Structure 1
Amino acid sequence: MNASSVKGDTIEARLRCLGADSVQQVQGILYFVTFKEGEHEVSYSYNINGKNKYFLQRIKPYPLPEGIFSDEEQVVEFIKRDLKKFRNAKHSHNFAQFIHVTNMIGETTKEIETFFLNYNVDKECLDELTQELNAIHQIISNAKKRSAHIIV
């Protein structure tokens, strides 16, 4: 028995003690892929699950789950298109700020989760957050309408 299977068994036992209804061990394989794009790095991880489906996530320059794909060809095609978009976007004068804003959104998501899971949030605060997030969505919508669409 190797160390990772022992750790897996230990975690499974602890999760069952917490009341987990199901813990499934899947024979999956995890891959990390990195592309250097000048001073920037674009990286992905994907795993192949027991049903031979591919779960892909972009890790850098910011984390974003991309979805489940049926075969390796779909994964490769997605990454190919995604890299093409990043190669184009990095020429923008706003690229660094775009990355910063996107990372801020990720951090905000974590902060909101911590807030809601650790505090008794009142309705007034929830209404204010909802209003502010709706305003951000409206800003993005308006910006899309007045910006040229890039076809890559």
Structure 2
Amino acid sequence: MKIIDTYSTKGDSIEILLRQIGATKITHVRGFLYFIKFKIDDLDITYTYNINHKNQYFLQRIEPYPLGKGIFDKEIEIVSFIQKDLSKFKKAKKLDNFNNFLNLNNTITSLTTDVENLFLNYDISDVDISQLEETLNAFSDKIEECKKNINNIE
């Protein structure tokens, strides 16, 4: 019973901190899983985290596109991460082609699902994966080239 009380206390204190940085909605699922929503103008940014059996927090951003963000040991670390992440979104949202990049991220996420679907549901024995790797490497190289030739917003 003491473990549940510890999780509940940690959940309550992190909820207060998240509301202080602007969370508009926090949903508890069975006391160990939380969903936190923020709004930046018309953009919803949603995170989820759970407290695992090692008393650590696993954080994911689920909106505007899903991305695992890591494991944190302390409440303040997760709040600090979210606060910095929101600040980056506020800066990026001001850029002209922000929505195009959101669409690109969603396409990339869909590709991850498509690749998983391919190897879990089809006989991939004769697939030449080198062509897929070449395309992916070219895309990765293009991203690196862009980073070298444009200004950092931080």
Q: 1:97 aligns with which of 92, 97, 100?
A: 100
**Residue 91 of structure 2 corresponds to residue 88 of structure 1:** yes
Query: CA contact under 8 A between 1:42 and 1:59: conserved in structure 2?
Result: yes
Which runs of structure 2 are paired with 1:29-44 in the superposition (5 Å)? 29-44=32-47
Which runs of structure 2 are paired with 1:96-115 in the superposition (5 Å)? 96-115=99-118
Q: 1:60 aligns with which of 39, 54, 63?
A: 63
Query: CA contact under 8 A between 2:91 and 2:153: conserved in structure 1?
Result: no
SS of the residue corresponding to residue 66 of structure 1 reads: strand
Which entry has the higher C-alpha Rg, 1 or 2?
A: 1
Which structure 2 residue ranges, 5 or more long, are not aligned?
1-29
Query: CA contact under 8 A between 1:28 and 1:50: conserved in structure 2?
Result: no
Alignment-mate amino acid for residue 135 of structure 1? A
**Residue 82 of structure 2 corresponds to residue 79 of structure 1:** yes
Query: CA contact under 8 A between 2:50 and 2:59: conserved in structure 1?
Result: yes
TM (normalized to structure 1)? 0.78
SS of the residue corresponding to residue 88 of structure 1 reads: helix
Tell me the equivalent position of 1:7.
none
SS of the residue corresponding to residue 47 of structure 1 reads: strand
Tell me the equivalent position of 1:119.
122
Q: CA deviation at 1:48?
A: 0.8
Question: How many residues were matched structurally?
Answer: 125
Q: CA deviation at 1:50?
A: 2.0
C-alpha distance in structure 1 between counterparts of 2:134 and 2:83, whole Å: 37
Which structure 1 residue ranges, 5 or more long, are not aligned?
1-26
Identity of aligned residues (%): 44
Q: For residues 9-40 of structure 1, give each alpha carbon's deviation from its aligned partner in whole angstroms, at most 9, with x where no partner exists.
A: xxxxxxxxxxxxxxxxxx97111100011110
Query: CA contact under 8 A between 2:33 and 2:50: conserved in structure 1?
Result: yes
SS of the residue corresponding to residue 141 of structure 1 reads: helix
Alignment-mate amino acid for residue 43 of structure 1? T
* Cα RMSD (Å): 1.4
Alignment-mate amino acid for residue 149 of structure 1? N
Q: CA deviation at 1:125?
A: 2.9
C-alpha distance in structure 1 between counterparts of 2:89 and 2:152, whole Å: 15
Alignment-mate amino acid for residue 111 of structure 2? T
Tell me the equivalent position of 1:3.
none
